[in-house]
Amino acid sequence: MLTELISQQLHPRPQSRDFYYLYSSPMKIPETPATLFGPYGSRLKEMEETHGQNGISNPAAILNGRVFREAVHHVAREHLSAGTEVGMTHTFGLRSLLHAPGELPTYREALRTHSRILRDAMIETGRKVKEVLSFGPAKDCYRPDPKFTPQEFADFHGAQAAEARILNVDAAWFETVNTASEGVGIALAAKKYKVPAIISFVLNREGKLLSGESAGDAIREVDAASGRYPLGYSFNCCPVEALETALKDCKRLNGRIIGVYPNASSRNQIELETSNESVGLKEPLQNARYLNYLAKKWGLKIVGGCCGYNHRDVALITAAVQQDLHDIRLPQTDLV
C-alpha cells in the first residue's frame, strides 16, 4: 500500500536549511487509506513526566534550545517508524502567537523550524510521506464564538495560509474547527493564497459540531461559499462514537469526508482539557480495527488518532489498514 501511496512523485525535500521555496502542485488524496501522525502533545507530555523536562510540549518552545528540538524530532521519528504515510507538524498551538502583538516573526521562525524537523526526520528514516502543516482555530477550540464573521476568520487564517504557501507543503490541515463560519473563513483564506487545504471539524458525542450545527450542513455551507475549494474534510478531537453519526449525516456529500482521527477519551472536550489528565485507549487493537471498518464503509482516505494516542496506537492502525483487519464493534473507552 505504501508503494501505491507514493507512486506519484512527492515534492523534493531538499536538505537545505532555506525554506523560502516556491509553491508547486497540490496534495493528491491517496486512493487507499493512509495513516496520519498521532498528536505530538500527548507523547511530549508523557516525556515531560518521564524525564522531568517541563515545557517540551509547548510548540513555541522549539526555539528555546536543542533539547526541545530533539524531543519533537524524536516524536516525529517514532511516528514515521510506525508506518504513517501522512506526516503532520507540531504547530497547532502556535496560533496563540498570532494574537500577540509583534510576534509574527517568532511565529514564522517556529513554524519553519517545525517543518524542517519533520523533513529532517523523513531524510533520516528514509520515509517520504505527505507533509501537512497543522493549524489551529482562531479562537477557543471548544467554545464556539458566534461573534466572529467569516471574513474575520479569513483575515486570521490568511497569515497561516500564507506560510503554508511559502513552505511548499503538500497541504495545510486546519484542525478542531467548531463552526461553519470559521470553515468558510478558512476556505476563503486558503483559496486566496492557492494553498491545498483540509478542514477538520470537532464533534460532540452526538456527532454535531460543538456549535450544534450539522456536520453535513456545515460542509455544504463551506463548499457553497468557496466553490468546493478544500481538498476535503475530516473529523478530529472527538469521541469515537460520534464518528459514524456524523458520517451518516454526510453520506450525500460525494466523498467530501476524507479522514477521521478521534480522541482516546469519550469525555466532553472541555472536561478533558481542564482535568489535565492523559487518557489513553482502553482497547487499542479493537480501536484500530474499528477505524479501518469506518474507512472501508465510508471510503475514507486518511485515519489516525488525536488526543491520547501515541505512536504505538498509530502503528496498530497502520497494521489494521495494511492487513485489512476491520470490526464493526465500537471499542470500549473511558465512558463507553
Reported as a single tens digit per residue, the pLDDT across 29-62 is: 777 799 999 999 989 988 888 877 788 999 999 9
The three-point CA angle 124-133-274 to 5° equals 110
Residue 206, C-alpha cell as written in the block: 452526538
Residue type, 315: A
Residue 170, C-alpha cell as written in the block: 503538500
**What digits encode the pLDDT tens for the residues 102-138?**
999 999 999 999 999 999 999 999 999 999 999 999 9
> pTM (2 decimals)?
0.91
Query: Dihedral of CA 77/82/85/89: which sign?
Result: negative
- Residue-level pLDDT at 11: 33
DSSP conformational letter for 146: T
Checking if the pLDDT of 23 tops 70, the result is: no
Q: Is there a contact between 59 and 325 (Cβ–Cβ < 8 Å)?
A: no
So where are the chain's domains? 31-322
Domain 31-322: CATH class, spelled out: alpha beta
Q: Which residue has the cell 507523547?
A: 43
Residue 205, C-alpha cell as written in the block: 458525542
DSSP conformational letter for 203: B
- Looking at every residue in the chain, the average pLDDT score rounds to 90
Rounded CA-CA distance 290/269 in Å is 21
Q: Which residue has the cell 491517496?
A: 30
- Residue-level pLDDT at 215: 98
Name the region of 197 (left: φ>0; alpha: ψ -120 to 50; beta: rest): beta
- Looking at the chain, the whole-number percentage of residues with pLDDT higher than 70 is 92
